Amino acid sequence: MTEVRVTVDGVNYADDVEPRMLLAQYLRETLGKTGTLIGCDTSNCGACTVSLNGQSVKSCSVLAVQADGAEVTTIEGLARDGTLHPVQEAFRECHGLQCGYCTPGMIMAAVDLLGDNPDPTEQEVREGIEGNLCRCTGYQNIVRAVQSAAKTMKPGAAQPTEQAAPVAGGGN
């Protein structure tokens, strides 16, 4: 067992874990953060994408012990003070999800993409989320959602008038 100290969605944790435990498993099984999902074993699908020290990573391809000392944000920690992140809001408004399984990873990847490139073209969005597979949507509405979120997030852009319902993230 190795100790790992990590901040996840604003809460500090210290746990003894097996070195082989994947960050994705640590989030799901040890912390009960089942909002982060696992879809493959080869780091292709991206369902498990979280933010690790501000960068998107596939948490199935990071050991929990490698996250020692890090700050992790999952889909459950994205909404703040009951307000959805604009990317979350845009996924709903644009019908960017169907079964929802790729969605947490897709949203986390999109958040990272927009942090990097606040005004991406369609092609840049498509390439920016190429590490995340979706089998339901054909990606079109996901791309639309990311571009729509980019507009909302632009400095000075009006916030959406129809504000989100309170978020019940964080629990499970």
Give the Cα separation of 107 and 91 in Å (integer).
8
Minimum distance of another protein from residue 158's CB (angstroms): 19
**Which of the residues 74 through 103 are near another protein (CB under 8 A)?**
74-76, 78-79, 84, 88, 91-93, 95, 97-103
| 28 secondary structure, DSSP code | I
Number of residues that bind another protein (CB under 8 A): 86
Q: What is the CA radius of gyration of the chain?
A: 16
Q: Are 88 and 79 in contact (CB under 8 A)?
A: yes
Task: Give CA 60 to chain center in angstroms.
Answer: 13
| 5 lies in the site for another protein, by CB under 8 A | no
**Of 28, 72, 120, 149, which one interacts with another protein (CB under 8 A)?**
28
**Of 11, 40, 119, 163, which one interacts with another protein (CB under 8 A)?**
40
Each residue 100-129 as x (binds another protein by CB under 8 A) or -, in order, gives xxxxx--x-x--xx--x-----x--xxxxx
Question: 51 phi and psi, to 5 degrees?
Answer: -100, 125
